[in-house]
Amino acid sequence: MTYELVDGNALAGIFTELLSRDATMIQAECGACGATAPLATTTVERDEFAVIVRCRGCTHTLLTILNDPAGSRLVIGAVRNLVL
Protein backbone atom coordinates (compact mmCIF):
# COMPACT_ATOMS: atom_id res chain seq x y z
CA MET A 1 0.00 0.00 0.00
CA THR A 2 1.36 3.40 -0.91
CA TYR A 3 0.41 6.78 0.39
CA GLU A 4 1.32 10.38 -0.17
CA LEU A 5 2.81 12.36 2.73
CA VAL A 6 1.77 16.04 2.62
CA ASP A 7 1.28 18.87 5.11
CA GLY A 8 -1.96 19.96 6.75
CA ASN A 9 -2.86 22.29 3.89
CA ALA A 10 -4.22 19.17 2.22
CA LEU A 11 -7.11 19.30 4.72
CA ALA A 12 -8.45 22.63 3.42
CA GLY A 13 -10.61 21.23 0.66
CA ILE A 14 -11.67 18.22 2.68
CA PHE A 15 -12.88 20.27 5.66
CA THR A 16 -14.55 22.86 3.45
CA GLU A 17 -16.53 20.12 1.74
CA LEU A 18 -17.40 18.32 4.97
CA LEU A 19 -18.48 21.45 6.85
CA SER A 20 -20.63 22.77 4.01
CA ARG A 21 -23.09 19.90 4.52
CA ASP A 22 -26.19 19.99 6.71
CA ALA A 23 -24.70 19.27 10.14
CA THR A 24 -28.03 18.15 11.57
CA MET A 25 -27.94 15.07 9.36
CA ILE A 26 -24.49 13.93 10.51
CA GLN A 27 -24.82 10.53 12.17
CA ALA A 28 -23.17 10.45 15.59
CA GLU A 29 -22.29 7.18 17.28
CA CYS A 30 -22.16 7.37 21.07
CA GLY A 31 -19.15 5.59 22.54
CA ALA A 32 -20.93 5.17 25.85
CA CYS A 33 -24.13 3.37 24.81
CA GLY A 34 -23.54 2.59 21.13
CA ALA A 35 -26.59 4.49 19.88
CA THR A 36 -26.27 6.06 16.44
CA ALA A 37 -28.52 8.95 15.50
CA PRO A 38 -28.50 12.20 13.53
CA LEU A 39 -27.16 15.22 15.43
CA ALA A 40 -30.60 16.76 15.01
CA THR A 41 -31.97 14.26 17.52
CA THR A 42 -29.42 14.94 20.26
CA THR A 43 -30.07 17.10 23.29
CA VAL A 44 -28.22 20.44 23.24
CA GLU A 45 -27.52 22.67 26.22
CA ARG A 46 -26.23 26.09 25.30
CA ASP A 47 -25.34 29.44 26.76
CA GLU A 48 -23.00 32.24 25.72
CA PHE A 49 -19.89 30.20 26.61
CA ALA A 50 -20.63 26.67 25.50
CA VAL A 51 -22.75 24.32 23.47
CA ILE A 52 -22.95 20.84 24.98
CA VAL A 53 -24.27 18.05 22.77
CA ARG A 54 -25.61 15.05 24.66
CA CYS A 55 -26.68 11.60 23.57
CA ARG A 56 -30.45 11.32 23.85
CA GLY A 57 -30.10 7.66 24.75
CA CYS A 58 -27.75 7.87 27.74
CA THR A 59 -27.10 11.64 28.25
CA HIS A 60 -23.31 11.32 27.95
CA THR A 61 -21.67 14.40 26.43
CA LEU A 62 -20.88 13.62 22.79
CA LEU A 63 -19.02 16.85 22.13
CA THR A 64 -18.74 20.40 23.37
CA ILE A 65 -18.12 23.66 21.55
CA LEU A 66 -16.50 26.28 23.78
CA ASN A 67 -16.58 29.94 22.84
CA ASP A 68 -14.12 32.38 24.37
CA PRO A 69 -12.22 35.47 23.22
CA ALA A 70 -9.52 33.27 21.69
CA GLY A 71 -12.07 31.61 19.41
CA SER A 72 -14.12 28.45 19.35
CA ARG A 73 -12.87 25.04 20.44
CA LEU A 74 -14.41 21.68 19.65
CA VAL A 75 -13.92 19.24 22.50
CA ILE A 76 -14.55 15.61 21.63
CA GLY A 77 -16.43 13.71 24.29
CA ALA A 78 -18.13 10.32 24.08
CA VAL A 79 -18.71 10.48 20.34
CA ARG A 80 -17.04 7.48 18.70
CA ASN A 81 -17.81 8.21 15.07
CA LEU A 82 -19.32 10.96 13.01
CA VAL A 83 -20.63 9.74 9.68
CA LEU A 84 -20.65 12.76 7.40
Chain residues that interact with Zn ion, rule: CB under 5 A: 30, 32-33, 35, 55, 57-58
Minimum CB separation from Zn ion for residue 25, in Å?
19
Which one, of 22, 33, 82, 84, lies nearest residue 60 by Cα? 33
Which is closer to Zn ion, CB of 35 or CB of 67?
Answer: 35
3-state secondary structure of 24: helix
Minimum CB separation from Zn ion for residue 36, in Å?
9
CB atoms within 10 A of CB 73: 11
Which is closer to Zn ion, CB of 24 or CB of 72?
Answer: 24
